[in-house]
Amino acid sequence: MTTPFPAEEIGPAIREEARRQRRARQRAAAMRARRARFTAFVTVASVVTLIVAWRVLAPAETEATLDIPAPGTAASATAVSATTQPESRDPLTPVFASYRSLQLYLPVLEADLTEIAYHQASGDRALPMISLIPDADPGAVANKQGTDRTAPGPDEAVPTVIGGEAIRMWRSNRRGAPDTAADIGALPGSPVYAPVSGTVLEVKTYQLYGKHEDIEIHIQPAGWPEIDLVIIHVTDPTVAAGDRVVGGVTRIASVRLLSDRVNHQLADYTPDAGDHIHMQLNRVEKPGVTVPAEES
CATH of residue 190's domain is 2.70.70
Domain with 167 in it = 95-295
d(CA 38, CA 26): 18
In a domain, 76, yes or no: no
**pLDDT tens digit at each of 296 positions of the chain:** 444 444 455 455 555 665 566 555 555 555 565 565 555 555 555 555 555 454 544 444 333 333 323 333 333 322 222 333 344 479 999 999 999 999 999 999 999 999 999 999 987 899 999 999 999 999 899 899 999 998 888 889 999 999 999 999 976 565 667 799 999 999 999 999 999 999 999 999 999 988 999 999 999 999 999 999 999 999 999 999 999 999 999 999 999 999 999 999 999 999 999 999 999 999 999 999 999 876 55
For residues 52 and 111, membership in a common domain is answered with no
The total of structural domains in the chain comes to 2
For residues 52 and 132, membership in a common domain is answered with no
In a domain, 167, yes or no: yes
In a domain, 75, yes or no: no
pTM of structure: 0.69
Return the beta strands (E) in 133-240 as ranges: 167-168, 181-185, 191-193, 198-208, 212-221, 227-235
For residues 58 and 108, membership in a common domain is answered with no
Q: Which residues pair with 97 in a beta bridge?
A: 104, 131
Q: Which residues pair with 229 in a beta bridge?
A: 219, 281
d(CA 179, CA 96): 13
For residues 48 and 193, membership in a common domain is answered with no
| 97-128 as b/e: b if 16+ CB within 10 A | bebeebbbbbbbbbebbbbbbbbbbbbebbbb
Q: Which residues pair with 135 in a beta bridge?
A: 166
DSSP-derived 3-state class of residue 123: coil
In a domain, 279, yes or no: yes
In a domain, 113, yes or no: yes
For residues 54 and 112, membership in a common domain is answered with no
Q: Which residues pair with 216 in a beta bridge?
A: 204
DSSP-derived 3-state class of residue 226: coil
